[in-house]
Copies of this chain bind each other. A is one copy, B any other.
Amino acid sequence: MTVSKTASDAVRSSRALRREPVDPAGDDSMLQLGELSGLLGYSLKRAQLKVFEDFLRCVAPLQLTPAQFSVLLLLDKNPGRNQTEIANTLGILRPNFVAMLDALESRDLCARMRSTNDRRSHILVLTDRGRAVLARAKKLVANKHEARLIEVLGPANHAALLEMLAKLAQEF
């Protein structure tokens, strides 16, 4: 994510919102997916794209991408951490985290403060505006995004799905 980019770019593209496989009675007939439907990775990727699209839609008023939202969440829950710690926790490489922070900082959502203990590192803090935006984002995510997921899957399935995905992300 480059500095000049904002979340609007992620929502902007009209094509991005209909990226799914196409066969709207336009082509000859439905193609056979075959073993593809049984490939977990295939369905995982497809589902992930859809869920991210919905996230972007739901949180569009705040112009936050999933990655940016996760950074704000982490800064709120873990005050006093530096860039390396936050980036590592999210699986973001330090070089790529710089531009991400630049974008957030330029919008006054967070700030880098030079640590007094270790003057190499930057302590990351949420600004007041950052806290406010995060609070609004949390509500949008819970009431629109996750609510829709739970509605489609059912509460029990939603919980089971979360558990299985967490297990995959950890033990796999």
Give A contacts to B, CB under 8 Å: 19-23, 27-28, 31-48, 50-52, 54-55, 66, 70, 73-74, 76-78, 81, 84-86, 88-91, 138, 141, 145-146, 148-149, 152-153, 157-158, 160-162, 164-169, 171-172
Contact in complex: B141, A168 (CB < 8 Å):
no
Q: Report how far A141 CA is from B52 CA in the complex, Å.
A: 27
Contacting residues, chain B, for A86 (C-beta < 8 A): 31
Contacting pair B41 A51 (CB below 8 A): yes
The minimal Cβ–Cβ distance linking A149 to chain B, given in whole angstroms, is 6
Contact: B81 with A36, CB < 8 Å? no
Taking A31-B74, A88-B22 as contacts, is the C-beta distance between A152 and B172 under 8 angstroms? Answer: yes
Q: How far is the CA of A23 from the CA of B170 in the complex (A)?
A: 13
Q: Taking the nearest CB of chain B, how far is it from the CB of A104, in angstroms? A: 16
* Interfacial chain B residues near A145, Cβ < 8 Å: 41
Taking CB atoms, residues of chain B closer than 8 Å to A54 are 172
B43-A146 in contact (CB<8A):
no
Find chain B residues with CB under 8 A from A146 CB.
38-40
Beyond A70-B42, A85-B27, A89-B31, is A47–B158 a contact (Cβ under 8 Å)?
A: no
Does the CB pair A46–B78 fall under 8 Å? Answer: no
- Report yes or no: B161 in contact with A40, Cβ–Cβ below 8 A: yes
Cβ-defined contact, A43 with B153, below 8 A: no
Contact between A44 and B47 (Cβ–Cβ < 8 Å)? yes
B28 touches A42 (CB 8 A): no
Give the docked Cα–Cα distance between A28 and B121 (Å): 14
Given contacts A48-B41, A51-B40, A88-B23, contact A77 B168 (CB under 8 A): no
Check B32–A77 contact: CB distance below 8 A: yes
